Structure 1
Amino acid sequence: MRARLARVRRRAGFSLRLRLMLGAAALAVLFMLALLPVLQRAFVFALEQSIEKRLASDASTLISAARIVDGRLTMPDKLPDEEFDNLEARQLGFIYDSEGTLIWQSHSSRDENVDYTPRYDGGRHDFSRAWAQSGREFFVYDVEIDLLRGQAAAYSVITMQPVSDYQSMHDGFMRQLYLWLAVALLVLLGLLWFGLTWGFRGLRRLTAELDQVEAGERNALSEEHPRELLRLTGSLNRLLESERQQRERYRHSLDDLAHSLKTPLSVLQGVSENLAGRSANPEQAQILQRQIERMSQQIGYQLQRASLRKSGLVRHRARLAPLLDLLCEALDKVYRDKRVRVERVFDAQLEVPIEQGALLELLGNLLENAYRLCLGSIRVSAIEQAGFCELSVEDDGPGVPVDQRARILQRGERLDTQHEGQGIGTAVVKDIIESFGGELLLEDSGLGGAAFRVRLPRS
């Protein structure tokens, strides 16, 4: 059960802003991953268009240098573009006739055997790729001409350039693209976090006001919240007011009940005492007195049990040291013959997560039992740990037999019916602790007697 509650708390403590941020970050990453191939294709398309224009310009250079002499195509020994004349150049040039026969090639293409044969089909131009026997890939621009300087002509003018010339440009662009997309993603996430932080100001203000309500510092939530939260704050205010009114009515009803029962019980008590003094059967009068006393105890127990309940929304905290001083001062007078020494092992500023009246009743019952049963020493200790506060009351008395502890701490058991003289104090203590979501443990004390340990959740 504790492990399940811990898991629920961990899930409940997971920030809504963080959840939205993680969702937005996941969508942003998916968007960037989807955008990456689109940008890559756009760059490749633009690059190929630039290469096509460059090769078309080179083809125009070859066409402008060509001549028709006696019906045959002739090319000058020296071309305007030196790239075609340099053996180590990367720019290749070819001219084919309409039958697909190579009739001219540039000096730069002497050492390259490219697997490409044009088809003269009357088309205008074609941009494609081809592979050379050396394994290199080339961009190919093929343009067909029908007229050359006013004379009929049927040739395919082809220019080529290695793909590897642009690979470094492509790789550099991709590196820059990855870098800028990563920077853009970080900037976007930062803006998202800032936007969510700004947008959640209303929720943080509402959380702060709820903390103040739980701490008892304010009675209701304000109306200075975003419109989307006003219905929630209104419902919480109505719930707070309804709980406050119900609690007041409950207290008033209990006070009226206690007052209405006090007088009849006092009258019955007086009658029983008169009967005990004059009756010929004193045993019957004693039975009547015990039953009246039992009724008084049960009424007191039920009133205490009903009134000391945890509030549904308000989170109470009470300082331990002042209440312990008050109780010890009263009990020292009652048990002055014992001269009880009370050892305190806790921080003087420690606060127990429980309503002050409930803590006074709980601690009073435990201390009264300890004072009555101890030999002379009592130890009150308290520590705060992760998730709970533990309060212990120990004594050096006879303790509680191990075989009786389970029955004492079992829900519904009453010590007044199990052990004479114990009264109903421990039953009240257990009910108070359970109403605040805590637990009561009974162990052996290092002082030699019993140790009652109370564990209360901190929230």
Structure 2
Amino acid sequence: MNNKQASKPNRLSLLNSLKARLVISALLLILVLMPLIGFTLNDAFKQQVKTAAKNELSAYIYSVLAVTEVENDQLQMPELLLENQFNVIQSGLYALISTPSVNSAKTTKDENGADLLWHSDSFLGLSEPKNLPQPAIGSREFSEIILDGKPHIIYSLSVSFEQQDGAFPITLHIIKDQADFQKQIDQFNRQLWSWLLVLMALLGMAQLAWLLWTLKPLAKFKQELQDVENGKAMQLSVDYPSELQSVAYQLNTLLITEQNQRKRYRNALSDLAHSLKTPLAVIQSQKGLDSSSIEQVSTINRIIGHQLKRAQSAAGSSWHLGVKIAPISEKLIRTLGKIYREPPRQIRADVDPDAIFRGDEADLTEILGNLLDNACKAAKSQILLTVSISELALNISIEDDGLGVSAEQESKIFERGTRADSYEQGHGIGLAIVRDLLDSYNGQLVISRSESLGGAKFLLTFNQKNELRTL
């Protein structure tokens, strides 16, 4: 069941590909059209061979009929015929003359329906055929007959010689072995299907090359979308066929509009932060404020900073942003190494150089910075940062050799509006920012115990697959 369920999406994804559809339709056209042409040509050749054989036997009939004479109700035939094959024993070409049997005059074709009056020398040694055709006088018949277990073609013509005492009807039969005709047909079939196979292969390659050339703009379109998605480009080029130009233009318009809106939004938030901080600074500078008021003003400052960071997150437009993780992590590790010197912490990093965070650089710095800072506070001496990528996900793991996170503390981390103090010095706001950023990027956070270091392990997972990448 699992294998069947797993293969079904693969088939659906294959049918959803324009390239796969075009290739399959082209192959089906070739695989259906070429054999159909082959069968049609084969049948036409068989009919041509049959017509040629019929004409050949008809010519033999008239050549034999020209030397046939009847005198006194006796058939008179020459010793040798003009066509030499009639004179060679079992040459494959035979001439026979029959007349309706007197005993079966009232019957039609059966084993005793005709008397054999004469046969050519080539017929010597062969058994008398049964059920020889007996067409009406003046009529002819072309058919097949089995002679000594081998298939032959037979052409029969019935004529009547007028005598003084009445008519003398006879039927002249020309029989020829089918081997020659079958050999022609077999040779034609071999050549026909050989050339058709070669033609099918050439057409298949030509169709594939044509499809690749036709779909080349789509491949370019996909690559440019991936470049925008990975942050390597800001817009799409417009050098596309007319069918894709409007799509590229609309996407570029969307990108420019979104970038301008995000810029105006961040500028407005920055202005708001500055306008709020100035009155708060004035309030804090007032003399005579009790400690409770000062604490509340500080809390307001932290809340404003936290909410501004949330609002400025670029997660909503992260599909066309991309930043490499390795340079950011190296910068953070260097900075934290200078801050936490006593006691010294060893921060090790195992970061995939190709790992890309599909989001804003500031958001990535905020996430890694807060988690690494908390790990440094909790660790005794060692911190491990691991970043790996797969086809579908980006995995970031931060481990330390501290006391770890208890089940009670872990539950608080995921509670909204609750200060999640996981360490002695307590940085609930930092973890809250990380949690909110993960929510905005649809990321997942799993907290467990590190198997290698023994302390806490924070595992972040970000989905790397989106609809645009399946174009």
Residue 206 of structure 2 corresponds to 191
Residue 136 of structure 1 corresponds to 150
Q: Distance in 2 between matches of 1:9 and 1:112?
A: 67
Residue 210 of structure 1 corresponds to 225
Residue 171 of structure 2 corresponds to 156
After superposing the two structures, state which structure 1 stretch, 342-351 or 210-219, moved more. 342-351
Conserved 8 A contact 2:134-2:156: no
Q: Can you list the C-alpha shifts for 1:242-293, whole angstroms capped at 9, x where unaligned? A: 211221122122212212221232233334x6221xxxxxxxx41x333333
1:274 aligns with 2:284: no
Q: What letter matches 1:292 in structure 2?
A: V
Distance 1:307 1:379, change over 3 A: same
Distance 1:51 1:415, change over 3 A: farther
Conserved 8 A contact 1:405-1:442: yes
CA RMSD of aligned residues (A): 3.3
Q: What letter matches 1:341 in structure 2?
A: Q
Conserved 8 A contact 1:216-1:314: yes
Q: What letter matches 2:186 in structure 1?
A: D
Residue 469 of structure 2 corresponds to none
Residue 447 of structure 1 corresponds to 453
TM-score, length-scaled by structure 1: 0.84
Please, which of 116, 121, 124 is the counterpart of residue 107 of structure 1?
Answer: 121
Deviation of 1:403 after TM superposition, in Å, equals: 4.5
Q: What letter matches 1:213 in structure 2?
A: V
1:293 aligns with 2:298: yes
Q: Distance in 2 between matches of 1:44 and 1:176?
A: 14
Q: Distance in 2 between matches of 1:434 and 1:10?
A: 33
Q: Distance in 2 between matches of 1:123 and 1:267?
A: 130
Q: Can you list the C-alpha shifts for 1:265-322, whole angstroms capped at 9, x where unaligned? A: 2233334x6221xxxxxxxx41x3333333222222221122123325414022424x
Q: Can you list the C-alpha shifts for 1:162-220, whole angstroms capped at 9, x where unaligned? A: 33443333333333333222222111111110110111122122223223322334332
Residue 275 of structure 2 corresponds to 260
Give secondary structure in 2 for the equivalent of 1:36. helix
Deviation of 1:32 after TM superposition, in Å, equals: 2.7
Residue 77 of structure 1 corresponds to 79
Residue 317 of structure 1 corresponds to 323
Distance 1:240 1:353, change over 3 A: closer
Give secondary structure in 2 for the equivalent of 1:274. coil
Q: Can you list the C-alpha shifts for 1:356-414, whole angstroms capped at 9, x where unaligned? A: 2111111111122122222333222323344333222222222101354245246x464
Distance 1:54 1:337, change over 3 A: same
Q: Can you list the C-alpha shifts for 1:294-352, whole angstroms capped at 9, x where unaligned? A: 3222222221122123325414022424x344434544555444333322333677654
Q: Distance in 2 between matches of 1:78 and 1:16?
A: 74
Q: What letter matches 2:251 in structure 1?
A: L
Distance 1:146 1:171, change over 3 A: same
1:423 aligns with 2:428: yes
Q: What letter matches 1:81 in structure 2?
A: E
Residue 408 of structure 1 corresponds to 413
Residue 239 of structure 1 corresponds to 254
Please, which of 20, 23, 31 is the counterpart of residue 21 of structure 1?
Answer: 23
Conserved 8 A contact 1:390-1:456: yes
Distance 1:153 1:7, change over 3 A: closer
Deviation of 1:67 after TM superposition, in Å, equals: 3.0
Deviation of 1:145 after TM superposition, in Å, equals: 4.2
TM-score, length-scaled by structure 2: 0.82
Give secondary structure in 1 for the equivalent of 2:446. strand
Q: Distance in 2 between matches of 1:103 and 1:6?
A: 75
Deviation of 1:71 after TM superposition, in Å, equals: 6.2
Q: Distance in 1 between matches of 2:434 and 2:298?
A: 21
Q: Distance in 2 between matches of 1:413 and 1:107?
A: 116
Fraction of identical pairs, as percent: 29
Q: Distance in 2 between matches of 1:259 and 1:370?
A: 32
Deviation of 1:44 after TM superposition, in Å, equals: 1.4
Q: Distance in 2 between matches of 1:87 and 1:9?
A: 69
Residue 387 of structure 2 corresponds to 382
Q: Distance in 1 between matches of 2:71 and 2:404?
A: 129
Residue 367 of structure 2 corresponds to 362
Please, which of 35, 40, 43 is the counterpart of residue 41 of structure 1?
Answer: 43
Residue 280 of structure 1 corresponds to none
Conserved 8 A contact 1:318-1:359: no
Q: What letter matches 1:295 in structure 2?
A: I
Q: Distance in 2 between matches of 1:333 and 1:350?
A: 26
Distance 1:298 1:185, change over 3 A: same
Q: Distance in 1 between matches of 2:136 and 2:240?
A: 76
Residue 305 of structure 1 corresponds to 310
Q: What letter matches 1:327 in structure 2?
A: L
